[in-house]
A and B are shown apart, each in its own frame.
Chain A
Amino acid sequence: MPMQKLAILIVAAALFAGCARQTKPDDEAAGVVEPADEEFVTQPLTEDELFGEGRPLDGEFGAIDAPEAVIDQSVIYFDFDSSSIRPEYSDTIAAHADRLVNDSAQVVRLEGHTDERGSREYNIGLGERRSQAVRQALMLQGVRGDQIVTVSYGEEQPAMSGSDDEAWAMNRRVEIVYLR
């Protein structure tokens, strides 16, 4: 049960982060925001819903399976001490790969991050390992290496402050940022 709840929280967090990401001017310029998705991404999740009891997402967020929806999901979250891409992100990766393959002038920057625990420079290494995992996954689907740059911020730029499981889960991530 706790694991399920955590999974739900993480999915919710991913959606929430995807939604926050959309408002960034960079993404708008890159054409990430499509009007059709407006309803989907603006589902309000209060802090209580995100980090309190959680709530079942079944049905309401069915749009997650559609590629045009997952392209908006530009943050991939990782388990503790892991750089494996969880199966739930395969559609997201595929959607970004499609976009990059179809528009070979596009360049993405993969920004790897860790949670705050442990040594800082070692965490730079772990963040880079996560960026590289996403890079490899994109390249396996035909994206050219020169369309991808990686950077690791380690624990230096947390998405959420705090020293608990929720914050840590939000901070172990790779952000996919379109540069042009």
Chain B
Amino acid sequence: MSHKITARLAGLVLLLAAVASHAELRIEITRGVSEAVPITIVPFAFEDEGAPDVDVAAVIEADLAFSGRFEPMERRDMVSRPTRPDEVRLEDWRLLDTDIVVIGRVKPAAAGRYEIEFHVFDVFRGQSLMAYNLPVSSDNLRGAAHRIADMIFEKLTGVPGIFSTRIAYVTVERDDGASRYRLWLSDADGARAGVIAESAQPIMSPTWSPDGRRIAYVSFETGVSRIFVQELATGRRVAVSSAPGINGAPAWSPDGTRLALVLGGVDGNLDIHVLTLSGRKLDRLTRHPAIDTEPAWSPDGRSLYFTSDRAGGPQVYRVTLDGASPRRVTFEGSYNARPRVSPDGEQLAMVHRVRENYRIAIMDLRRGGLRVLTDGQQDESPSFAPNGSMIIFATRERGRGVLAAVSSDGRVRQRIAGTEGDVREPVWSPYAR
């Protein structure tokens, strides 16, 4: 009896602790947002006939908000809606506590083309920061809006924006025992999604070529795993690895000439290999009876991080391409897997188990120390944005896989809208070129 009460009390204490830590989390997020720069994106004028199919200012606004670095003003709070520089009265905007004002116009140009003129003002210094005329084809207003958001982001933060980049991800739909696996591409915000490969058998582990023109992935379409490289512009694809047993976890080298991948062979011993794409030269990099998988290149192309359970549970190791023996990298916790290296090579994102929960954690490779960035139960597949500022990952919401993003400092978390079905394995593209 008294045991029961003690247990209940303990439960209550735990519950309170949970509430408290949740509250702290909220405060953190709120503090994060209040550190964000207040910005106003005034709706852009549309000077052609009819209405545009894309609200350019709204797309810019959503992009900048998504970064967590900016807090856009609600439209209903705007005192006026200038669209030309001579209509901007900075003293009015000062009263509204907004630091930056962006205005613009979409103007008709040659047939099938527009020009977007936009201006960025620093309200408190009273100066124009940018004035730009961006030519665009009339069916790509959304792409132009992402481009403008990138330009504004870089001007104000000094870091290139990632709003024109894309993501690839996999969905599965199950219906009466039949499955459809689909590989998708979309804008980084989830818009303009399209299927690039589809199969009744699993599709896994998409990875971008560094020039953003090709994607490698694993497909089980013939009943066994094979690795394909698909050219995005043409849809043409080639099976680059069809060895007996497992062919998995492709990762493109930073110079684009090689694929790191995992082969299992007839005996099912997974080891890391490096395939040189021209000439198909294959080098075996690890040689261990444990599972070695999920290779990720360091940005200098000289080493690979990978998951191995050679010490029992999965941990991250690093191996250099000269064949030296692998060194263990992670020691915190009993489960660290699927490493991904930040673009500057200084941080490692991974799946980290906290009690029963699988979460995204980040590790500083110089100083060590692991930081858990997410709070889900089954968060997986972290992938860095090409500027390193954010990590996209898959999480579960009401029993369904969805995409989310977290800033690399853990301050801002976002759900990515617009993706349907059971979604997994998001991978962020390189910069658009």
Interface residues of A (CB under 8 A from B): 116-122, 124-126, 128-129, 131-132, 135, 145, 150-154, 156-157, 161-163
Q: Is the CB of B351 within 8 A of A118?
A: yes
The reply on B335 being an interface residue by CB < 8 A is yes
- Hey, what's the 0/1 contact readout for B259-297 against A, CB within 8 Å counting as 1? 000101011101000000000000000000001011000
Q: Is the CB of A117 within 8 A of B293?
A: no
Contact pick for A128, options B220, B270, B309, CB 8 Å: B270
A-B contact pairs, 20 of them (CB 8 A): A118-B314, A119-B307, A119-B338, A119-B380, A119-B381, A120-B204, A120-B381, A121-B204, A121-B248, A121-B293, A122-B291, A122-B307, A124-B225, A128-B268, A128-B270, A150-B245, A152-B268, A156-B204, A161-B174, A163-B377
Q: For the complex, give the distance between the alpha carbons of A154 and B270 in Å.
A: 13
The reply on B202 being an interface residue by CB < 8 A is yes
The reply on B246 being an interface residue by CB < 8 A is yes
Q: Is the CB of A124 within 8 A of B174?
A: no
Q: For the complex, give the distance between the alpha carbons of A150 and B309 in Å.
A: 21
What is the CB-to-nearest-CB distance from B204 to chain A, in angstroms, rounded to a whole number? 6
Within 8 A of A (CB), among B372-412: 377-378, 380-381, 396, 399
Chain A residue contacts of B29, Cβ below 8 A: none
Contact pick for B378, options A117, A128, A145, CB 8 Å: A117
Chain A residue contacts of B351, Cβ below 8 A: 118-119
Q: Is the CB of B378 within 8 A of A163?
A: yes
Q: For the complex, give the distance between the alpha carbons of A121 and B377 in Å.
A: 18
Q: Is the CB of B424 within 8 A of A120?
A: yes
Q: Is the CB of B205 within 8 A of A122?
A: no
Contact pick for A125, options B204, B293, B335, B378, CB 8 Å: B293
The reply on B337 being an interface residue by CB < 8 A is yes
Q: For the complex, give the distance between the alpha carbons of A139 and B372 in Å.
A: 44
- Closest Cβ neighbor of A111 among chain B residues: B223
In the A-B complex, the 9 residue pairs with the closest CB atoms = A125-B291, A119-B337, A156-B202, A132-B268, A119-B338, A121-B249, A128-B268, A121-B294, A125-B270
Contact pick for A132, options B267, B307, B314, B425, CB 8 Å: B267
The reply on B88 being an interface residue by CB < 8 A is no
Known: A121-B204, A131-B268, A154-B204; 12 extra A-B contacts, CB below 8 A, are A119-B380, A120-B205, A120-B338, A120-B381, A120-B425, A124-B246, A125-B246, A125-B270, A128-B264, A128-B268, A152-B264, A162-B399
The size class of the interface chain B forms with chain A is: 35 or more
Contact pick for A129, options B172, B249, B268, B378, CB 8 Å: B268
Q: For the complex, give the distance between the alpha carbons of A83 and B293 in Å.
A: 18
The reply on B163 being an interface residue by CB < 8 A is no
What is the CB-to-nearest-CB distance from B242 to chain A, in angstroms, rounded to a whole number? 13
What is the CB-to-nearest-CB distance from B142 to chain A, in angstroms, rounded to a whole number? 31
Q: Is the CB of B338 within 8 A of A129?
A: no
The reply on B321 being an interface residue by CB < 8 A is no
The reply on B73 being an interface residue by CB < 8 A is no
Contact pick for A151, options B172, B225, B291, B378, CB 8 Å: B225
The reply on B118 being an interface residue by CB < 8 A is no
Q: For the complex, give the distance between the alpha carbons of A121 and B179 in Å.
A: 19
The reply on B70 being an interface residue by CB < 8 A is no
Q: Is the CB of A119 within 8 A of B246?
A: no
What is the CB-to-nearest-CB distance from B84 to chain A, in angstroms, rounded to a whole number? 52
Chain A residue contacts of B294, Cβ below 8 A: 119, 121-122
- Closest Cβ neighbor of A126 among chain B residues: B291
Q: For the complex, give the distance between the alpha carbons of A39 and B136 in Å.
A: 71
Q: For the complex, give the distance between the alpha carbons of A161 and B176 in Å.
A: 12
Please indicate which of the listed interface residues B202, B204, B268 has the most CB atoms of chain A within 10 Å of its own CB.
B268
What is the CB-to-nearest-CB distance from B174 to chain A, in angstroms, rounded to a whole number? 7
Chain A residue contacts of B267, Cβ below 8 A: 132
- Hey, what's the 0/1 contact readout for B45-80 against A, CB within 8 Å counting as 1? 000000000000000000000000000000000000
What is the CB-to-nearest-CB distance from A114 to chain B, in angstroms, rounded to a whole number? 12
Chain A residue contacts of B335, Cβ below 8 A: 118
Chain A residue contacts of B396, Cβ below 8 A: 163
A120-B424, A121-B293, A145-B266 given; A163·B380 CB < 8 A: no
Within 8 A of A (CB), among B293-310: 293-294, 307, 309
Contact pick for A122, options B224, B266, B337, CB 8 Å: B337
- Closest Cβ neighbor of A128 among chain B residues: B268
Q: For the complex, give the distance between the alpha carbons of A132 and B424 in Å.
A: 27
Q: Is the CB of B381 within 8 A of A122?
A: no
Contact pick for B338, options A121, A128, A132, A135, CB 8 Å: A121
